[in-house]
Structure 1
Amino acid sequence: MSTAQIKALLDKLNEHCLQALESAAAFAGMRGHFEVCIEHLVVKLLEKGEGDFDLILRHFDVNLDRLWQAMLDNLSRLRSGNRNKPSFSLQLLEWFERAWTISSLRDPQAQLRSGALLEALLDLAPRLPGTAWLSLEVVSRNLLQSHLAELIRFSVENPQLPSAAEAVVPSPATASVRSADTATPHLDAYTTDFTARAAKGAIDPVLGRNDEIRQIIDILTRRRKNNPILVGEPGVGKTAVVEGLALRIAENGVPDSLKKVRLVGLDLGLLQAGAGVKGEFEKRLKSVIEEIISSPTPIILFIDEAHTLIGAGGDAGQGDAANLLKPALARGELRTLAATTWSEYKKYFERDAALERRFQMVKVEEPSQDNAIVMLNGLKGHYQKHHGVLITDSAVEAAVSLSSRYINGRYLPDKAIDLLDTAAARICMGKAATPAEVDTAREHLTYIERRRKHLAEETAQGIPADVNLLADLQQQEEEARKQLTELEQRWQAERALVGRIQESRTGGKDALADLATLQRDLQELQKNSPLVQPEVDADTIARVVADWTGVPVGRMVKNDLANLLDFENTLSRRIIGQESAIHAIGQSIRCSKAGLRENQAPIGVFLLTGPSGVGKTETARAIADTLYGGERFMVTINMSEYQEAHSVSQLKGSPPGYVGYGEGGILTEAVRQRPYSVILLDEVEKAHPDVLNMFYQVFDRGFMRDGEGREIDFKNTVLIMTSNLGAETILDLCAPPEPVGEEEEPETPFAPPSHGALIEAARPALTAHFPAALLARMQIVPLRPLDRDTLRQIIAQKLDKVAQRLFDAHGIRMRCTPEVIDHLVGRCHTPESGARAVNTLIEQNLLPGISRSLLGFMVNEDMPQLMALEVGENGELECLFSDIVKEDEPQFAQAGAGG
């Protein structure tokens, strides 16, 4: 075919096909192909969309994504390496010729459309290589010819719709198909009418946001600058506030100027979909703006995630959507309600002063727990109806309180709603689905059965096997089968009771009389491990939180107030010999929890001072475990790393204009994500004074502003600082006086100093280092050096842990004599090092010898049952192993260990 003939053929293509062909040629050149093939053009026609080609294939349910991928697979097998301009393949030109023949028979004057290309492709497909064309077999040639005009009615190739921007494309993938014959086709196609949805009852009630809605109404009724922008963290309910406004408009609960207003939400995704050609996105957006301005009914445009306007449709600051909106916003012709997050507002809006000044900010803060409970109570009925289960008030309160404490990085009310929704879905599913406990028991039984069968098969085939293991597996199988049977029976019984309880709730007054009895029977049957539950309660919420976070259920449902009353006893089991310090901390925390302290201050601010190794850091861990449910709710910051003034930015985040701005600080981000936690500032005396100065406001008012200006709440934290200042004074004061010469022991025994005396003794050293104003905001808690009796208890506790690990790993019981503990106390009693000397002695002297012996037994496959720890004749510790164990031998036999 000559060049003139090719040019004449290409001139017959309409604008849509010509643009696709140009893109296909560029695509072939980019991939280094020598020819522009049919596959290149099909790929570009599919990517452009909205034309005859796309609409016809969608009508016949051809999977366009699969066809597009098949074309790319075909192209990947073509020869590449061409550095020149690719030529048109013979098959491509034949395709054009056949298509023009089909098109000219209908209308000789018309240009060649992609619909004719598709008809021609149906004829060529059987002769083309590969299986990619098989998907076109579903397209009926007869139906295509008889209904072509109807199929391409909304095509962008129609003369009355000169561009894709002015077309509304009917597509199964689109959520709503609108008609181009309406007065506002683009508005109907690319927006959602919130007021219409509110009038139909499709929007959930919005409670607790009256102030924000009033602010929006005030701004919208202005003559100028009547464009509110909602700014808040993700999940605080910005879109819900807009829905609340739509509900008020639908209920006529707004001023007269807003009663006839439509509130529509712009869908930027729909605006951008298929707008591959430059200028199409801008035309679509302009059409939407023009229809809003010219509408006889006033329209307010809501733009969610408004920061996506910047850079949408063009380069930021030039032809993007934000700049297309500015003129209409400046003239007051377009009332816009926008929403975005704080980080995006700072990143995009604050940098564009012209755009920022056209909006009036409305802050949407995270609701308080009380306010969040009100919000969830308003939604509770909708979730009960959806899931068909009862949601109790205690479940709502637990969803708010537990999500606030244990679910980090998200905000109320969103995380509480998700928690309530998940719990309701779980209860609904539990009516029919098998409980997880039953599934686990079945899997465990199946595993034991398979293992026993495999071992039995090996034995039958003459392969040596452990006879004891086979007998043990048979016993385990019987126990697992018995446990599974009991679980299944209890599951069926619980299901029956739950069914009767639900029937009695809907059966009138007579049925309600039996409700208490049924609930009591169910409680006795379930005890503390329910398989089926009749309603969503606080325990259900706690179990969902446990699955999400790993925090044990028992810690969440435990009564915090009762826990505080037993605070000293709980901590004394871990922190030995520091009763006065623990008592002082417990008193202070109880005062805060009882509401007798300033509400703005943290729960407690403690400065623990004393010698090394007496339990300062361990006290912080124990408080985190007791108050918040685990040591992972403790943030540890080594203050020796902040000895320079500029290191303040590491803790609270870099200010604007500095490297690291927007990334957050180590301390502020940790508290922002875990507001219920213990903050441990270790070795606080080593930090630079400027670093300590930023804690004045934290200690006094319970908040700190980070580098981005956000207010970080410390009110639910316990701040603990550790220091060695005054340690020498405390050591001297607690040390009994040594006798001089042959002086007899004094008649009056040595009395340890009181807690108040220790504070006064340590105060001069603390005052010399910390400013008086800062020290006054802390509660000084001195810790005593460890005496011999305390050390005996600590050593016994450490040996008990070693014995537990030995039994868990190898099934060996451990026994030690009182002389062993006396021997270890003698080697560890150095007040300057405290309990750290115990760890060092056990790790370096005791465990290596035990490990060597155990490895020898493991090699010989002859593991003993008992290890006795004794002091040998040479004064060193010895480990004696034997198989003689008494029936009542405890796991760790400690005779006369002193507790």
Structure 2
Amino acid sequence: MSKEKEREIIERFTENLNKKAKVNELAVIGREGEIKQLIYILSRMMKNNPLLIGHPGVGKTALVEGLVQRIKQERVPDYLKGKIVYQLDMMSLMAGTKFQGELEERLKVILNFMAQPENNAILFIDEIHLIVGAGRSQGALDVSNLLKPMLSRGEIQCIGATTREEYRQYIEKDGALVRRFSNILVPEPSREDTLRILHGIRNYFEIYYELKIYDEALLAAVNFSQRYLTATYLPDKAIDLLDETCGREKIEKLEEEASHNVLRKYFINREDVALTITQKYDLPVGKVLADEQQKLLFLPAILQQRVKGQGAALRAVSDAIFRARAGIQDPHRPLASFLFVGPTGVGKTEVALTIAEQLFDQKKNLIRLDMTEFSEPHSISKLIGSPPGYIGFEERPRLEIIREKMNSVVLFDEIEKSHPEVINILLQILDNGFLTLANGREVNFRNTIIVLTTNLGSELYFEKRKMEEIKKDLEFELKSHFRPEFLNRLDEIVFFNSLSKEVIREIIIKELELFIQRTFQEKNIKLRYNEEVVEKILNEAYSIEYGARPIKHYIEKKIGTLVARQVVSQLLVSGGNYLLNLEQGTQEIKITPLRSLETGKNLLNNFKERPVQETSEKKSSENEIPEKVSKLEEEIKSLKDDKLRLAAEIENERKSFRRQMEQMYKYGNKKLVSCVLDFFVDLEEKALKAMRADPEGKIKNHLLGIEMMRNIL
């Protein structure tokens, strides 16, 4: 082959990285330790070929570019001064090789060039696993066999880069190739290192996009990418998020400039990065921007609101999560791990769902695994995958979804029904925070919350004994079923109470409100209910064996069917007001139109839904007040059930607000909240007096004051 042809092959399939460094195309920030390790290996007498192994996007290629920068700056040992690093383009090298031996011929030319001492060359092969098996399809030798002898004789120096999975799948099987390289594991950089990298490359983004990037945008790119882009790795995902935000912002501003014919100077802040996340994942901006401390602060109150009658259990869960988020927990384990013990229908799954929504923003971040599916020895392969060569090896293991949703709650439901081998898998997860699947891939559980539920000893709850006595028997049941090393690895074993009738009544009211909101919110129909309906549901749906679970089914089946029939029959019309009550005699649930509710409706809606108009400062005369009171009393008497409903609604709002205030008092500024609470009570008393005396005058001011305080808080 002529020298011109050889030179053409060299220029076509390799790139001189030293020339890129001359024109400042290589921007490398950080990674000082890994670059030094790279230099140490290159300076060795034997086995001086580094192999960079790390996840995609962690900066393997950037390490080589950092080495080139040091060579140009002569910040390397004398042996490496003047070295030229050539990057081999493997895809171009293999492209268009139609004839047998053509690929080997190209590679041999390149290797001979690298072996000549006067060229002073180091070969860099990115995605080096591609050389393993390349050429076999043409009936020729594996091209890696061309590289091995030259590496073993020390004729060339080579730097390789590959991912952990591809190293295991391709290179590790070839022992002769492995022994020629010295491995350098390239970890994912920390948040602090990633932030330094973003600060270093910010100037390039600002010049390219002609905008200003604030420090808060860089910090948001790191935090939001870590929280939401869990399938990829730092710093690549943070850089991608910042790049996408800048591109979107520039396009939007250019459109504004075109429409308004003005020239604007614009910038990128934290809200812009959050908007990119909301568009990608269809999340409310407020949830993305919500501070982590705020989410933690309100977690106990939200748990108490969603799950009734489990005060002690919820406090134990909240405290464990507080410890994890404060950094007190071992960073090499999951954020928190719980075993929820209790009968069915007491709120175990609801707690896990609430944690996923509050801390990780979406219901989708609850990963539920039903352990009844894993009760046989062979079913373990569903969790971690089948070994190579076995049926099902190509199928995706169930736990691999954690790689895409590292920030999530993983729920192992009814763990007592699983095979003992599942417990062995959990031991590895709870102890190390990592799990290696059958295909060799690692799953990181260190940003997850592990929740295990069990119904063991649920029959003990049916005995009329104190919870402390039941708890001792439950502990004995757990120790007899689970191994000590498993129980000791859990952060908290949480015992749930059985639900009393009073708690069930609260759950019925909550489920009714959710049903009404879900069904009628978009139909502009108002449906209310009275206490008789609550009592009927309590008597017919409550079961100590099944807890609160039958209540939702009862509401959907009985009331849902009734509502569906009336909607289809067009008996429920938009803008109408209706009442759920009981039929006289049969005591069946029915829907009654409310046609005489204007007075009561105005009393509530004037101060909640409509802007309050300024009232005249003229006070009612002594003669007018008795007349108004008398008229109002007559109208209220005609309302019958509506009067009770209105009173109950006011009372429920008062209780709800008081509970909120008590939670704020517990976790917030106690002195401020105490003053506000006293002021609210005073306003409340005045409002109730005004309602009895002058509903068209003073009540507006008092209820408006209450509403203002509610909005401020």
For normalisation by structure 1, the TM-score amounts to: 0.64
1:260 & 1:388 partners in 2: Cα distance? 37
Q: Which moved more, 1:401-410 or 1:697-706?
A: 697-706
> What is the alpha-carbon distance in structure 2 between the residues aligned to residue 269 and residue 611 of structure 1?
59
Select the residue among 581, 586, 593 that pairs with 1:870. Answer: 581
SS at match of 1:339: strand
Distance (whole Å) between structure 1 residues aligned to residue 108 and residue 488 of structure 2: 63
User: Is 1:676 aligned with 2:407?
Assistant: yes
Q: 1:658 to 1:250 in 2, by over 3 A?
A: farther
SS of alignment partner, residue 815 of structure 1? strand
Question: Aligned residue for 1:797?
Answer: 510
State the 1:313 CA deviation.
4.0
1:829 aligns with 2:542: yes
For residues 389 and 766 of structure 1, do their structure 2 counterparts lie closer, same or farther at Cα, with a shift above 3 Å needed? same
Q: Does structure 1 residue 338 correspond to structure 2 residue 132?
A: no
Given that 1:604 and 1:718 are in contact with CA atoms closer than 8 Å, whether structure 2 keeps it comes out as yes
What SS does the corresponding residue of 2:569 show, helix, strand or coil?
helix
Is 1:328 the counterpart of 2:150? The answer is yes
Aligned residue number for residue 202 of structure 1: 25
Partner SS, residue 119 of structure 2: coil
Q: Which residue in 2 is equivalent to 1:220?
A: 42
8 A Cα contact 1:806 1:813, kept in partner: no
What residue number does 1:696 align with? 427
- Cα drift, residue 321 of structure 1: 2.7
SS in 1 for 2:340: strand
Residues of 1 paired with 2:112 and 2:268: CA distance? Answer: 50
CA distance, structure 1, for counterparts of residue 229 and residue 506 of structure 2: 38
Mark the CA change 1:596 to 1:353 in structure 2 (over 3 Å): closer, same or farther: closer
- 1:896 matches 2:648: yes
Q: Which residue of 1 aligns with 2:624?
A: none
Correspondence for 2:356 among 624, 632, 635: 624
Secondary structure at the counterpart of residue 463 of structure 2? helix
Residue 841 (structure 1) aligned with residue 664 (structure 2)? no
Query: Which residue of 1 is the match for residue 188 of structure 2?
Result: 366
Q: Secondary structure at the match of 1:386?
A: helix
What's the CA shift for 1:213? 1.8
Shift of 1:314: 4.4
Q: Which amino acid aligns with 1:233?
A: H
Q: Which residue of 1 aligns with 2:98?
A: 276
Aligned residue runs from structure 1 range 562-577, under 5 A: 562-577=294-309
1:611–1:731 CA contact under 8 A, matched in 2: no
What's the counterpart of residue 686 of structure 2? none
Cα distance per residue 1:86-109 (max 9 Å; x no partner): xxxxxxxxxxxxxxxxxxxxxxxx
Q: Which shows bigger deviation, 270-279 or 589-598? A: 270-279
Conserved 8 A contact 1:184-1:291: no
Q: Answer yes or no: is the 8 Å Cα contact 1:759–1:780 preserved in 2.
A: no
CA distance in 2, matches of 1:759, 1:564: 28
Aligned residue among 332, 336, 361 for 1:600: 332
Matches within 5 A, 1:355-754: 355-434=177-256, 499=264, 534-656=266-388, 658-661=390-393, 665-667=397-399, 669-733=400-464, 753=466
The 2-side partners of 1:673 and 1:894 are apart by 49
Q: 1:312 to 1:693 in 2, by over 3 A?
A: closer
CA distance in 2, matches of 1:320, 1:334: 19
Q: How far does the alpha carbon of each residue in 1:181-237 deviate from its partner, in whole angstroms, 9 at most, with x for none?
A: 9x8442222211011111221111231x22222222222222333222212221111
Cα distance change, pair 316–610 in 1 and its aligned pair in 2 (3 A) = farther
The answer to whether the Cα contact below 8 Å between 2:127 and 2:161 also exists between their aligned partners in 1 is yes
Q: Closer, same or farther in 2 for the Cα pair 1:324/1:795, shift >3 Å?
A: same
CA 1:233/1:211 → structure 2, altered by over 3 Å: closer, same or farther? same
Amino acid at match of 1:867: Y
Residues 204 and 317 of structure 1: CA distance in aligned 2, closer, same or farther (over 3 Å): farther
Counterpart of 2:592 in structure 1 is: 880
1:850-865 equivalences in 2 (<5 Å): 850-857=563-570, 865=576
In structure 2, the CA distance between the partners of 1:595 and 1:283, relative to structure 1 (3 Å rule), is: closer
1:350: Cα distance to partner?
Answer: 2.0
The secondary structure found in structure 2 opposite 1:781 is strand
Over 3 Å counting, the alpha-carbon distance change for 1:853 and 1:650 in structure 2 is same
Residues 414 and 454 of structure 2 are in contact (CA less than 8 Å); yes or no, is this contact kept in structure 1? yes
- Provide Cα deviations, 1:259-285, integer angstroms capped at 9, x if missing partner: 111001112333344443443333222
CA separation of 1:894 and 1:417: change in aligned 2, threshold 3 A: farther
What residue identity is the alignment partner of 1:411? Y
Corresponding position of 1:301:
123
How far is 1:821 from its partner? 0.9
Quick check: 2:165–2:440 contact (8 Å CA) kept in 1?
no
Q: Secondary structure at the match of 2:648?
A: coil
Which moves more between the two structures, 304-313 or 401-410?
A: 304-313
Conserved? CA contact 1:635–1:677, under 8 Å: yes
- 1:74 is matched with which residue? none
Q: Whole-Å Cα distance in 2 between the matches of residues 357 and 319 of structure 1?
A: 20
Distance 2:396 2:43 in 1: 38
Q: Deviations over 1:458-504 (max 9, x none)?
A: xxxxxxxxxxxxxxxxxxxxxxxxxxxxxx9xx99xx88xx5xx6xx
Aligned residue for 1:192? 15
Quote the Cα distance in structure 2 between the aligned partners of 1:273 and 1:706: 34
Identity of aligned residues (%): 34
1:776 counterpart letter in structure 2: N
Q: Distance in 2 between matches of 1:663 and 1:359?
A: 33
Structure 1: 5+ residue runs without aligned partners? 1-161, 168-179, 440-487, 503-533, 735-752
Instruction: Give, in angstroms, the shift of residue 403 of structure 1.
Output: 0.7
Q: Distance in 2 between matches of 1:686 and 1:806?
A: 37
Choose 396-405 or 315-324, whichever is displaced more: 315-324
- Match of 2:648, as an amino acid? G
Query: One-letter code of the match for 2:592?
Result: L
Deviation of the 1:691 alpha carbon: 1.4
SS in 1 for 2:195: helix
CA distance, structure 2, for counterparts of residue 631 and residue 333 of structure 1 = 58
SS at match of 1:296: helix
Instruction: Give the drift of 1:645.
Output: 3.1
1: CA distance between counterparts of 2:304 and 2:646?
Answer: 20
Structure 2 residues without counterparts, runs of 5 or longer: 610-641, 653-713
Which residue identity lines up with residue 486 of structure 2 in the other structure? L
Q: Secondary structure at the match of 2:256?
A: coil
Name the larger-Rg structure: 1
In structure 2, do the counterparts of structure 1 residues 559 and 273 end up closer, same or farther at CA, with 3 Å as the change threshold? closer
Match for residue 770 of structure 1? 482
Q: Distance in 1 between matches of 2:553 and 2:87?
A: 66
Larger relative contact order (Cα-Cα within 8 Å, sequence gap ≥ 6):
2
Asked whether the equivalents of residues 815 and 869 of structure 1 are also in contact (C-alpha less than 8 Å), the reply is yes
Q: Which position in structure 2 is the counterpart of 1:140?
A: none
**Secondary structure of residue in 2 paired with 1:283:** helix
| Counterpart-to-counterpart distance in 2, 1:591 and 1:284 | 60
Q: 1:785 to 1:620 in 2, by over 3 A?
A: same
